[in-house]
Amino acid sequence: MKTPTPKLDGPLVDKTIRHDYTTEELVTLGGEMAQALAGLRGIETEFDQVKSSYKARTSEKEALIDRLSTNRMNGFELRLVKCRLVFRPKDRQKDYYLDGADEDSEPVLTEDMTQDDFIQELFQAEARFECRKIVTLFDVPDVKSGGEDSGQMLLGRLDKLWFSSLRIRVGKKELTERLDSEQPASKKRSDAIDRAATRLQKWLKDQLGKEAAKGFDEPITKSLEPERELEE
């Protein structure tokens, strides 16, 4: 017996029913899926950036809290400030004074001088002198050491007074004097030369012996005679 055809005049209702996609619909779904994945990646990247920002801000505040806590516990903090540097070569130390501090202020820090400090201080001390001149006393090969024996006399004028210093190297023996205002001074240039020459002769005799020291007399005399005649 044939089933009668129902009349489609019933009420409309919502119901989940299977739908088989056509080829065109499958292509459309693939495009939508790719767009959705791209959107997801964008959201994840944005979220990572937000997390990173919050993490950085959190770390910053944690570091601030740690620093403040440490400073409060210690009672001080280290600050980078402008300072005036003063060398004290005799004590082998250097002092730092706050920029703008009074003359009678105490140094805010004292450190030991390094070898570079001594060189820098020496240049600063010598730069104060007028009419500076380096006179080469001798410069000869040292057969024993394979090096070179050298001698220099430094001359300079400060506040109308003349000062002299020596820099001598003979073999492994050295004499290094500072050209500064604490050295003995002379009113005449020639007197300052004679003072240094006397010190040099005594040093050579003490270090090398009387006979060996005589070997330096001729080049030293030849170098200094023209200098004694100069008055500046």
pTM (2 decimals)?
A: 0.55
* % residues pLDDT > 70 (the chain): 95
Instruction: Residue 191: count other Cβ atoms within 10 Å of its Cβ.
Output: 15
pLDDT at 193 over 50: yes
Which candidate, 106, 70, 113, places its Cα nearest to that of 90? Answer: 113
C-alpha 57/C-alpha 107 separation (Å) is 39
User: What pLDDT, in 10s, does the model give residues 142-172?
Assistant: 545 455 788 999 999 998 999 999 999 998 8
Mean pLDDT of 42-67: 90
At residue 173, does pLDDT exceed 50?
yes
Flag whether pLDDT at 231 surpasses 70: no
**Gap between the Cα atoms of 140 and 200, Å rounded:** 17
Mean per-residue pLDDT, 182-206 = 91
Instruction: Please tell me whether residue 54 adopts helix, strand or coil conformation.
Output: helix
Token pair listed for 103: 């003359």
Comparison of pLDDT for 147 and 115, the residue scoring more: 115
What does the pLDDT read at residue 232? 61
Confidence band (pLDDT; 50, 70, 90) for 1?
low
pLDDT tens readout for residues 121-142: 888 888 888 888 899 998 876 5
pLDDT computed for residue 8 by the predictor: 76
Is the dihedral angle over the CA atoms 20, 25, 27, 33 positive or is it negative? negative
Binning the chain into helix, strand and coil, the percentages to the nearest 5 are 45, 25, 35
The answer to whether the beta carbons of residues 151 and 216 sit under 8 Å apart is yes
pLDDT of 143 reads 47
User: What whole-number distance in Å separates Cα of residue 17 and Cα of residue 194?
Assistant: 121
Question: What mean pLDDT comes out for the span 88-111?
Answer: 90
**Token pair of 109 as six digits:** 């820090």
